[in-house]
Amino acid sequence: MAAAKTKMGDDEMLDLVCWLIDRYDNLRSAVANRAAMVVSGDAIFLAGVTFLLDSVLSAGVQFSQMTRIVLILSIGANLTLLALSIVYATNATVIVWKTSRATLSLRDLPQLLFFHPRDSANSFDSIERFEDKFKATTKKRMLHYALGELLLITKALHSRYEILRKAMRLLLISIAPFLIAVILLFSSFF
């Protein structure tokens, strides 16, 4: 026997959309926390690379030409990868560059009054106009605004998460040149 389909009313849909918007705000915070952990990992590796560089520069050991070249390339690659990882992780945390409807492939998205701060701030110059528009907005239109905001923040969250993934990949890749430099450095002392 088929399950009976029940349709949500406008009030229930609006409540659900508002809950989802709140949920995405929590997910955005989780991405920021993960990005902060990546930056912490970057900082630890950066300290290690700095130690390696200092060891290479101050070592009384004469390195062969090939070892010196590989050490310089390894340390340079590591510094480059860590710098890029920091930039991406920071961008995932705060989205330094402007995120607009165009960058999120939502060019045709109309103004999302009351749910999107920039749209609301640009549309009203007085509390009276804001209040009049708010009171005149139907449930159906309010739901439309809320759904537009939900779509916008969903795409923005996805963008942040993809940027975070790039930062994490760069951090993980930076382990390889770091290990190469450590192995070469220690093998030169023994």
* Residue ranges per structural domain of the chain: 22-56+64-189
pLDDT at 98 over 80: no
Contacts of 116 (CB under 8 A, 6+ apart): 145, 148, 149, 152
pLDDT at residue 62, as a whole number: 76
**Per residue in 32-65, pLDDT tens?**
899 999 999 999 999 999 988 887 778 666 778 8
CA neighbor of 95 nearest in space, from 27, 35, 174: 35
Q: What average pLDDT does range 148-175 have in this prediction?
A: 92
pLDDT digit string, tens, across residues 86-95: 999 998 887 7
What is the percent of the chain where pLDDT is above 70? 91
* Of 124 and 6, the one with more pLDDT: 124
Q: With pLDDT > 90 as the criterion, what percentage of the chain qualifies? A: 40
For the stretch 70-85, pLDDT in tens is: 988 999 999 999 999 9
Can you give the pTM of this predicted structure? 0.79
Residue 28 scores a pLDDT above 80: yes
Q: Is 179 left (phi over 0), alpha (psi -120 to 50) or beta?
A: alpha
